[in-house]
Amino acid sequence: MQRAQIFISYRRDDAAGYARAVYDELARHFGAARVFIDVDDIGAGQKFDEVIDSAVGESEVLLVLIGKRWLGEREGQPSRIGDPGDFVRLEVTAGLAKGMRVIPLLLDGAAMPSEAQLPAVLRPLARRNALEIDNARFAADIERLLAALRATLDEPAAVPQPAPSKRALWWGLAGAVLVVGAGATLWPPRAPPRNDGSPTVSTARPEINGTWQAEVDYDWPNAHHVERFEFAGDASDLHGSASFLRVPRGIVEGVVDRGPEPGGLRFATRTREVAGAGAGSEETVHRYRGRLVGDEIRFVMQTEGGSSPHVPVEFVARRAPVAASQAGR
């Protein structure tokens, strides 16, 4: 079996959304078998620490995703990064000790931790050159990361491969082909071959414009809401609104993927979270990544910022009934 060569280290309540986005891009370019991410690569019942230790040992590059909560600050307690049993600390410590190429990725303007903020075993991290990943320029930043990884792994640039099987499992696909309606139309459609026999890349915009709704269970008790999504735009542009707690929020940074695997979309919304009387408010960013599968859009939403951490939320959106769509206008 081909060994993993790239290990993604991240703190779940700091950068889970970015970890998935980075993984998706690396898996497309290098193959899923060569990229380790805990969500996909640790099976039920396996010992987390043993799998992590083995995967770090088999990898050549360690990507350390650093957001604004990476240190794991806790009110009235030391930061989690200072705990010898903290998994993020263990991952990075192992990578540094092994002499791996350790690349910090600073997310959305996060600062590199200073040596004074780190335990002694992690202080060499503060002297590593970092790359920046920003949602507003995600594609360009990913290209810089890919170039650095190709140089480290001594590999030429290659045409991205179709989505790997692990990515397909993430979106809950049972197979690569879906049958839609009585006409047995294949999804996604295969493009006709070129004259040289190689397949062409589809550039058609997925049929996502319109009104969608989803039942969403957020990560706190008794938080079941029906949310609505209004999508518009053409080509790769995506705009409109997405409700959060049933309040419409304007879509920013919306992008529709038209190839080589059409059907993907990503966007963000922003809200202000009020901590309490006299405590002011704090901006939160909700990052959505979705994929059109038949007549459903399967989403993962990660909330970043705010006064408390959040885990990723998965849900399925379906087209709103015509009556419901018209009633909301």
Note the pLDDT tens digit of each residue in 57-82. 788 999 999 999 999 998 888 999 99
pLDDT exceeds cutoff 50 at 172: no
Q: Model confidence over 106-151: pLDDT tens digits? A: 998 999 999 999 999 999 999 999 999 988 888 889 999 999 999 8
Average pLDDT over every residue of 312-323: 85
Q: What is the pLDDT of residue 48?
A: 55
Q: How confident is the model at residue 273 (pLDDT cuts 50, 70, 90)?
A: low
Q: What is the pLDDT of residue 300?
A: 93
Range with lowest mean pLDDT among 58-62, 86-90, 171-175 = 171-175
Question: What are the angstrom distances between the C-alpha of 103 and each of 22, 54, 121, 128, 325?
Answer: 13, 19, 16, 7, 47
Average pLDDT over every residue of 228-233: 91
pLDDT exceeds cutoff 50 at 173: no
pLDDT exceeds cutoff 90 at 227: yes
Domain with CATH 3.40.50.10140 in the chain: 6-153
Structure tokens at 107: 């997310």
Q: Is the pTM of this model over 0.85?
A: no
Structure tokens at 299: 């989403």
Is 108 strand, coil or helix?
A: coil
Among 116, 68, 128, 39, CA closest to 92: 128
Specify whether the CB–CB gap between 163 and 28 falls below 8 A.
Answer: yes
Q: How confident is the model at residue 321 (pLDDT cuts 50, 70, 90)?
A: confident
* Residue 66 or 50, more confident: 66
Q: What is the pLDDT of residue 137?
A: 87
Domain 6-153 homologous superfamily, CATH: Toll/interleukin-1 receptor homology (TIR) domain (3.40.50.10140)
pLDDT exceeds cutoff 70 at 175: no
* Residue 271 or 148, more confident: 148
Q: What is the pLDDT of residue 298?
A: 93
Class of domain 210-327: mainly beta
Q: What is the pLDDT of residue 52?
A: 67
Q: What is the pLDDT of residue 163?
A: 45
Dihedral (Cα; 66, 120, 35, 158), 10-degree rounding: 80
Among 237, 209, 245, 181, CA closest to 325: 209
d(CA 326, CA 329): 5
pLDDT exceeds cutoff 70 at 176: no
Q: What is the pLDDT of residue 2?
A: 55
pLDDT exceeds cutoff 80 at 168: no
* Residue 200 or 111, more confident: 111
Question: What are the angstrom distances between the C-alpha of 160 and each of 2, 28, 143?
Answer: 18, 5, 12
| Beta strands 313-319 and 210-217, pairing class | antiparallel
Q: Model confidence over 18-48: pLDDT tens digits? A: 888 898 889 888 988 899 887 544 444 555 5
Q: How confident is the model at residue 234 (pLDDT cuts 50, 70, 90)?
A: confident
